[in-house]
Structure 1
Amino acid sequence: MHARFNFTEIEEHPLRDYLNNEFHARTPIPLRSPVLVTHLAFQHEGLTAQEERENVLRLCQTSACKFIENSTTHMMFDAGNFQMRWELHTEYSSYTFFLPLVAGEPIHPDTTALDSVFPDWLSAIPGRLIVATHIELRSTADVSPESVLAGLSPTSGRQMVVSRIGNGAAWVFTDFMFDNGFSRFLVLDDSLAGRQPGRAVQRLFEIETYRMMALLGLPVATEVGNWLNGAESRLAELMDHIGQANSPEDERAVLADLSKMASEVEHSVARTTVRFGASFAFNSLVWQLIDELREIRVPGYQTLHEFMQRRFLPAMNTCAAMARRQDDLSSRVARNSQVLRTRVDIELKRQNQELLAQMNTRAKVQLRLQETVEGLSIAAITYYGSQLVQYLAKGGKYLFPALSPEVATAISIPFIAVFALFGIKRMRKSLALEAEGTE
């Protein structure tokens, strides 16, 4: 019989449990109609996850909370008269409140799941509110789709979105407009089973949240577009200046302006890359979630997909276009700077070649002067050396009467000249070796 495997005998990766828990986290909550669900999302204001957790737990100081989920980045508990789920995301934190209703009981149109939450706690939630969405989940047995459609006024000026989701298992009504600060959805459950109501509600919340987070890139795109118009005009002017440059000084002045523009472009790219990248990521999630709803068109009304194509997609295309224009401008500035640098480098090389040619000419002249000086030096050394020999011969005449000073001087001149020439060549060779050694 084999022994049971013991995990304590091997070393586990420190993130193994965390990653598996994250994989199973944020599952759809089992919902049964009727229920009110309110979703809030706040952009972070520098708070840590622990600080946000402590703020959430203040709700449990006045009532007993039954925790359903409890981890570092997400938490869900039942406070008795309502349930709440908190999730920490990269850019925002979300707070979702669930308030069950009694079937058939009428409610006020402005009622939300926040009515059971302490107002002081709500006003103290850290961050800036970016999403506030309210969903009313009802059964078609309580509220018929026909009665809702009959109550829609074509003269209200609002573009209503009516769609059947889950291959016709439920109805969704919304106009994405704000009423008392909330965007509102009415979901009528016809034949949703199991966790389908919870998944449908969660997808609608995520669509609204990701839509707003993606649209944060639109003001940035508008700002970048205004700046790009001026920058592209300046680049065109600089290109005209390149063609009109008549001297290296003009080219260097244009190159300085191009380098300044390049730094401005790169600063703009660095400032907007994160925002545009986040918008593109949220945009892809929006379309993925809409596809997962499996919509069926209701005659006479737009589906969520059609509404997003007309209202949301142009904004995302604007962000993508500004990002491409920015990258294109950066590439153009880099190419033109490289062309101009090449021209400047070629001019500098030409000037260096002329300078080297002049230096070569000067070196040849100096060599000829040096050879002339060496020749004169040999003549001078020979002259002075012969004079010394003549003085020595005159002094030695008394010891050697047969010695003629003139003859001795004449004989010494060729020897002195040869020795002087040899010594100068030897000295030149030694200096050349020393110069090669220093190189």
Structure 2
Amino acid sequence: MVAPPFPEHPLRETLANELHTRPSEAIEAPAQLTHLAVMFSDPEAMARHLAALCARLGGAAPAPGASHFAGDIGALRVRYEQHTEFCSLTFIRRGMGGEFPFEKPVLSELPEEWLASLPGEVLTGVHLVLQSRHEIEHPPEDLSLRHFAGNQVIGSYVGGGAGKAYSDLRMHGDRCNRILLRDIDLNPRHAGRIVQRLLEVNTYRALALLAFPEARSASAALRKVDTALADLSARMADPSSPESDAHLLSELSTMTAEVEAIAASRGYRLAASRAYYKLVQRRLEELRAERLEGLITFSGFLERRLAPAMATCQSVTVRLEELSVRCARSAALLRARVEVDLQAQNKDLLASMDRRAKVQLRLQEAVEGLSVVAISYYLVGLVGYLAKGAKAAGLSIGGAKVDSGLVTGIAVPIVVALVFLGLRKAKKALSHEK
């Protein structure tokens, strides 16, 4: 490979090759096909299982990690395609026609033990017969009896009138659907594209409907949450309700968790259903179907049956989103009310603390006054003891003996003033430090 003269994005070649990874097979009438769509959990196990079949029947096996494979195994041709959550297996047997082609489908040539040990679950299976234009053409009434167990047949021109497609879209005794495609003016490439689109319509139709049972179960659960939320909203609006906002908020949190759990468990399936339904509609458009006299077309039948189920899935998705928004809005309102109540309680608490602080200040001032008196009392007592001791020792001042009572009396205002000033100075020093 020649090196490019410019720097390349590391995914450039991968993205370019993606456009050519799943080309349609060129199929020439007459031919028979069996198509299986298998839901898997391990794509590597499915690839290994196919490789074992190739080795058993004789043929090249898919490369490790390959998401697409096409090759001949014995008298059959196999196509393998790996998708996000399923893989498709198509087995083609060329040159097989006859009056009753569905009596011996391609599936009968595969080993029973290989089919029984598929590493996954078959979601849909289809036997498709590409009938040659040279074979006898039967009217729809006869086709119903010959190939579709007497069921109502739907059908239309396909490929702009180059072929006719018939089916009853029902599972038969071998648990597979049946499609009869009659060649009118189909070349092999055109026939391969028509076959691919018919098979994809059947596969994507089943994948789209996977969400329908979950949507129905979710709808019942959402109905209960919706009713409970309406009741809770009514209690929120009732001023005489005895329940506290905190209790209502707790109950609402439980409802919100239920809605989120439903969304988490079914969100992927509902989103995938919408995507698959769009693919069904796109493939029906690509069939370029035209009405056959007296028959319901594929698009008419599928739209009439599939559209209501998809509408149910869409309504559940919308209800999930609306309920989530309503729960969030109610929770925000309740939280605001709880916060207002808390702020009112905090205001009352602060006012109470302010009152207590004022009382404590008054008590402190009273204690300070009592402290001045008590300290002065003890200090004056000490001065009195000193005066008495001086008198007993015979000390005199200016020739006169010390009068202990006079000294004590003179010391009282002085001691009180000094104690008051000292306590005041100490109080100011502590306030300054704080």
Which of 93, 98, 120 is equivalent to 1:127? 120
Letter in 1 for 2:276: F
Q: Which amino acid aligns with 1:119?
A: E
User: Contact 1:67–1:76 (CA<8 Å) still a contact in 2?
Assistant: no
* Residue aligned with 2:168, SS: strand
Aligned mates of 1:391, 1:220 — CA distance in 2: 101
Aligned residue among 216, 219, 222 for 1:222: 216
> Of the candidates 379, 382, 386, which is equivalent to residue 376 of structure 2?
382
Q: Is 2:13 the partner of 1:6?
A: no
Match of 1:37 among 33, 37, 42: 33
Indicate whether 1:201 and 2:157 are aligned: no
Shift of 1:309: 1.7
Residue 270 of structure 1, CA deviation: 0.8
Going from structure 1 to structure 2, the CA distance change for 1:430 and 1:130 (only over 3 Å counts) comes to farther
The answer on 1:140 being equivalent to 2:136 is no
User: Structure 1 residue 195: deviation in Å?
Assistant: 1.9
Out of 299, 305, 308, the position equivalent to 1:311 is 305
Q: Where do 1:104-119 residues align within 5 Å? A: 105-119=98-112
Q: Which moved more, 1:194-203 or 1:205-214?
A: 194-203
Tell whether the 8 Å contact from 1:160 to 1:301 is kept in structure 2 after alignment: yes
1:168 alignment partner AA: G
User: Is 1:401 matched with 2:394?
Assistant: no
- 1:165 equivalenced with 2:158 (yes/no): yes
**Alignment partners' CA distance in 2, 1:110 and 1:200:** 23
Q: Normalising to structure 2: TM-score of the pair?
A: 0.88
Q: Are 2:78 and 2:91, in contact at CA under 8 Å, matched by a contact in 1?
A: yes
Deviation at 1:360? Answer: 1.1
Name the counterpart of 1:417: 416
Cα offset, 1:412, TM superposition: 4.2
- Give the alignment partner of residue 92 of structure 2, picking from 74, 94, 98: 98
Residues 32-71 of structure 1: matches in 2 within 5 Å? 32-44=28-40, 46=41, 48-66=42-60
The AA in structure 2 aligned to 1:261 is: M
Q: Deviations over 1:356-415 (max 9, x none)?
A: 212211111111111111122122222322333333344445444236555554554444
SS in 2 for 1:186: strand
Distance 1:70 1:21 in 2: 18
Q: SS where residue 87 of structure 1 aligns? A: strand
The 1-side partners of 2:412 and 2:209 are apart by 102
Once residues 267 and 366 of structure 2 are traced to their aligned partners in structure 1, the CA distance between those partners, rounded to angstroms, is 71
Name the counterpart of 1:151: 142
Checking the alignment, whether the CA contact within 8 Å between 2:130 and 2:183 is kept in structure 1 is: yes
CA RMSD of aligned residues (A): 2.9
Shift of 1:424: 2.7
Structure 2 counterpart of 1:6, one-letter code: A
The CA distance in 1 between the partners of 2:350 and 2:84, in whole Å, is: 62
The alpha-carbon deviation at position 71 of structure 1 amounts to: 5.0
Q: Deviations over 1:264-310 (max 9, x none)?
A: 12111111111111111111111111122222223433222222221
Provide the residue aligned with 2:265 in structure 1: 271
| Counterpart Cα distance in 1 of 2:422 and 2:32 | 111
Within 5 Å, which residues of 2 pair with 1:277-316? Answer: 277-316=271-310
Tell me the SS of whatever aligns to 2:102. coil
Q: CA deviation at 1:143?
A: 4.6
Q: TM-score, normalised by structure 1?
A: 0.87
Using the TM superposition, give the Cα deviation of residue 112 of structure 1 relative to its aligned residue in structure 2, in angstroms: 1.6
- Among 149, 174, 177, which residue is 1:183 paired with? 177
Give the letter for the 1:421 counterpart.
F
Distance 2:320 2:43 in 1: 35
Higher mean Cα deviation, 132-141 or 379-388?
379-388
Tell me, what secondary structure is at the counterpart of 1:72?
coil
Q: Give the 3 Å change call, closer, same or farther, for CA 255–401 of structure 1 in structure 2.
A: same
CA distance in 1 between counterparts of 2:5 and 2:60 reads 32
Alignment partners' CA distance in 2, 1:8 and 1:396? 119
Contact 1:132 1:183 in 2 (8 A): yes
2:295 and 2:112 map into 1 onto residues whose CA distance is 37
Change (3 A) 1:379 1:300: same
Residues 42 and 130 in structure 1, CA contact (< 8 A), matched pair in contact too: yes
**In the alignment, is residue 25 of structure 1 matched against residue 21 of structure 2?**
yes
The SS at the match of 1:24 is: coil
Unaligned runs of 5+ in 2: none
- In 2, the alpha carbon distance for the partners of 1:295 and 1:346 equals 65
Deviation at 1:116, TM superposition (A): 2.1
Distance 1:96 1:381 in 2: 109
Change (3 A) 1:298 1:385: same
In structure 2, the CA distance between the partners of 1:190 and 1:416, relative to structure 1 (3 Å rule), is farther
Deviation at 1:201, TM superposition (A): 0.9
Q: Does structure 2 retain, via aligned residues, the 8 Å contact 1:37–1:99?
A: yes
CA distance in 1 between counterparts of 2:188 and 2:225 reads 57
CA shift for structure 1 position 133 = 0.8
Distance of 2:113 and 2:286 partners within structure 1: 37
Greater shift, 194-203 or 293-302, is seen at 293-302
Q: CA deviation at 1:97?
A: 0.4
Is the contact between residue 140 and residue 153 of structure 2 (CA under 8 Å) also seen in structure 1?
no
Query: Taking every aligned residue pair, what percent have the same amino acid on both sides?
Result: 36
The residue number in structure 2 matching 1:252 is 246
